[in-house]
Structure 1
Amino acid sequence: MDQVIRVLVVDDSAYVRKVIKQMLSRSPLIEVVGVARDGKEALDLVEQLKPDVVTLDLIMPNMNGIEFLREQMLRRPLPVIIVSIASESGETALEALDAGAVEFVQKPTALATEKVFEISDELIQKVKAAANVKLSNLPTNPNSQVKSPVVHQIRSGIIDIVVMGISTGGPQALSFLIPQLPENFPIPVAIVLHMPVGYTEMYAKRLNEISPLKVVEAKEKDPVIPGTVLIAPAGRHLSFMRQSDGVVITHLDARPFDTLHRPSVDVLFQSAAEVFADRVLGVIMTGMGSDGKQGAAWIKSHGGLIFTEAEESCVVYGMPRSVEEAGLSDKSIPLSQITAAIMEVL
């Protein structure tokens, strides 16, 4: 029998505390050991109950979620999942990731049972993953970056595009990695990052502020051009189409419907292989599950390259592991060396 994961639920709404408790109680491997109404109460209960994981609302009286996170991470770092509504706390949620939160889930706003159960599966999965994260691998303070490499006259070598797939620990890892790519980076970058709907645009804007390259949330028919980093919008798959004039543009779609994630790394990688053939570098980074494994197989079958993040730097070694174990990785690289490895290919 696996060890039961002890969870503390923090939210100022009695209704939400009750719903989250019910949602998590559907798993025999999770026990809600306590509930707190604000950050102050949560700090005391973490001390008393020693939970393995905390689910945290952000907007609360007395002490809000960010204040709790900063204080708790100083006392004893532990995995925290933000449960919040994008429209109420979007910027704050991104701040929470900087402060050490590992994941976030959209708060159930509707009373509709099926909606709550939908979120329930996601929350259970994320709590189980959070219980096993390596918090020490979360890159902190993404704004104090290693300086971008100064590279003169870089030419695209054997690749025409870099595609990346990333999940748990992703926002922090990308905030570390993307600012290191130089302003004259000669090819486009496209990224699928598993995030709830409502956050990817804000995240792209924040990443753009700290990066030499232009970072945007992808829109329909965006040109796929050098010097631009395209982030797939949450809720839509990102793929590519080559026009008759040779220019490659983006396409956003809810289909296919049968993927575990939308956007899916598999969909992005498959499309990149079909449009750019053997001139694709796929990079699979920290995250739970195996999204990207099939996509990596597509890239490899078309003659492209696959890099995976090494276990030693992953917050969750799930997605890279699935690619490694399938024998699809050309190189396993710690986060701190991925930029250099990409530059080498160029």
Structure 2
Amino acid sequence: MNQIIKVLIVDDSAYVRKMVKEMLYRSPFIEVVGTAHNGQEALELVEQLNPDVVTLDLIMPEMDGVEFLRQQMAKRPIPAIVVSIASEDGQKTLAALEAGAVDFVHKPTALATEKIFEISDDLIEKVKAAATIAPHHLLGTEVKPQVVSSPLSAQFHKSVDLVAIGISTGGPQALANLIPQLPSDFPVPIAIVLHMPVGYTDMYARRLDEQSSLTVLEAEEGQILRPGLVTIAKAGRHLKFLVHSDGTTRVHLDARPFDTLHRPSVDVMFRSAADVFGARVLGVVMTGMGCDGKEGAAWIKAKGGTIVTEAEESCVVYGMPRSLVEAGLSDRQVPLKQMAQVILNSI
């Protein structure tokens, strides 16, 4: 990366503005061009300074972060990363994602220097990724998509017993588009690993459940997989599958392996799915940074399963799908607007 990324920091706390600025300056590719203490000031500074990325607090006086996003996205979409405390503004974070924020970082509740700097690397990587996002990917997801029709004929040569989805940056918005399109009689279970900090996945699952015909739940130990159930991995635990003595397949939550970049990991879920379901797995890798899912996709392919990746044209960040395509693991690349129908046609 050669181009300097211009960042505007928005937070009502002078201390947090100072800390975020110091964190971002650990990268030679980032320049903080300004700071704002509320959404109204941020609107004015975006127009004056033309930043590439905004880091955004949510609870602020005069104009909060969600209202800033709604007004800014209506004028000129700009990549925004929410820096929030899950216990205080988790619902606002989800509203911000719906309004167009591309990602978020969990701000430690203890603002000691050593604690807040723990998020530095994560914040820098997310700012770098956000700076690459095209404006047309920054629109919100508040309009419920239409349910797609049931498949008339299969496009793949085998049916599946599980749809396993891996997704990261841009994931909340993409899933809010995809899952509500699937009909209530969807005939197989769906399992999802979505990279989120602890404290968000239950709230997100409940919100997605309200928008969908399918039942959407955060994963619980021993939960039985069944048709029409969407299970979202619990933040902080890997999502695995075990065949119970009664013949049912159930969710197993595990802290191991400990050496993965993410917990939950798409790789871990994919490998477990392949071990339990063999060739009857459809693995789907969608928008996100990094390469989580590549090793797991290789495992699914080795067992005879099928892999679909989201096409670059609709990815907020074309990282995870690209890693599979370049490794020769993707059977088909599909834009988001066609993903629901392709999934239906594969079962």
TM-score, normalised via structure 2 length: 0.96
Classify the secondary structure of the residue corresponding to 1:283: strand
Q: Contact conserved, 1:143 with 1:210, CA < 8 A, in 2? A: no
Deviation at 1:143, TM superposition (A): 3.6
Deviation at 1:113, TM superposition (A): 4.2
Contact kept? 1:134, 1:314, Cα under 8 Å: no
Q: Provide the residue aligned with 2:120 in structure 1.
A: 120
User: Partner of 1:201 in structure 2?
Assistant: 202
Q: Deviations over 1:5-32 (max 9, x none)?
A: 1111100011111111111111111111
- Map 1:47-58 to 2 at 5 A: 47-58=47-58
Is the 8 Å Cα contact of residues 135 and 315 (structure 1) preserved in structure 2? Answer: no
Q: Structure 2 unaligned runs (5+)?
A: none
Distance 1:133 1:268 in 2: 28
CA distance in 2, matches of 1:269, 1:110: 35
CA contact (8 A) 1:142 1:176 kept: no
CA distance in 1, matches of 2:318, 2:292: 12
SS at match of 1:324: helix
Instruction: Check whether the contact 2:190–2:229 (CA below 8 A) recurs between aligned residues.
Output: yes
Bigger drift between 73-82 and 112-121 goes to 112-121
Length, aligned pairs only:
345
**In 1, Cα distance between the equivalents of 2:217 and 2:148?**
19
Instruction: Name the aligned partner's letter for residue 92 of structure 1.
Output: K
C-alpha contact (below 8 Å) 2:107/2:116 kept by paired residues = no
Contact 2:233 2:239 in 1 (8 A): yes
For residue 313 of structure 2, what is the aligned residue in structure 1?
312
User: Quick one: which amino acid aligns to residue 320 of structure 1?
Assistant: P
TM-superposition CA deviations, 1:59-99 (whole Å, max 9, x none): 00011101111111122111000000111111111111111
- What is the root-mean-square deviation in Å for CA atoms of aligned residues? 1.8
Q: Mean Cα displacement is larger for which, 308-317 or 133-142?
A: 133-142
Contact 1:142 1:172 in 2 (8 A): no
> Which residue of structure 2 aligns with residue 227 of structure 1?
228
Say if 1:163 and 1:282, in contact at 8 Å, map to a contact too: yes
- In the other structure, the counterpart of 2:188 is 187
Aligned equivalent of 1:23: 23
Q: Indicate the residue corresponding to 2:10 in structure 1.
A: 10
Q: 2:51 is matched by which residue type in structure 1? A: P
1:66 aligns with 2:66: yes
Identify the residue that residue 298 of structure 1 maps to in structure 2. 299
**Alpha-carbon spacing, 1:268–1:21, altered in 2? closer, same or farther (3 Å):** same
The one-letter code sitting in structure 2 at the alignment partner of 1:124 is: I
Q: Give 2:133's aligned residue.
A: 133
Letter of the 1:209 partner, please give it. E
Contact 2:243 / 2:249 at 8 angstroms: preserved in 1?
yes
Report the secondary structure of 1:128's partner residue.
Answer: helix
CA distance in 2, matches of 1:164, 1:310: 15
Looking at structure 1, the residues matched to 280 and 150 of structure 2 have their Cα atoms a distance apart, in angstroms, of 24
**Structure 2 residue 279 is the aligned partner of structure 1 residue 278:** yes
Normalising by structure 1, we get a TM-score of: 0.96
Letter in 2 for 1:181: L
Please tell me whether the aligned partners of residues 139 and 173 of structure 1 are also in contact (alpha carbons under 8 angstroms).
Answer: no
Q: Provide the residue aligned with 1:326 in structure 2.
A: 327
In structure 1, C-alpha distance between the alignment counterparts of 2:294 and 2:159, rounded to whole Å: 22
State the secondary structure of the residue aligned to 1:87.
helix
**1:116 Cα deviation (Å)?**
2.4
User: Unaligned regions of 5+ residues in structure 1, if any?
Assistant: none
Deviation at 1:316, TM superposition (A): 0.8
**Separation (CA, whole Å) in 2 of partners of 1:220 and 1:293:** 26
Tell me which amino acid in the other structure corresponds to 2:33: V
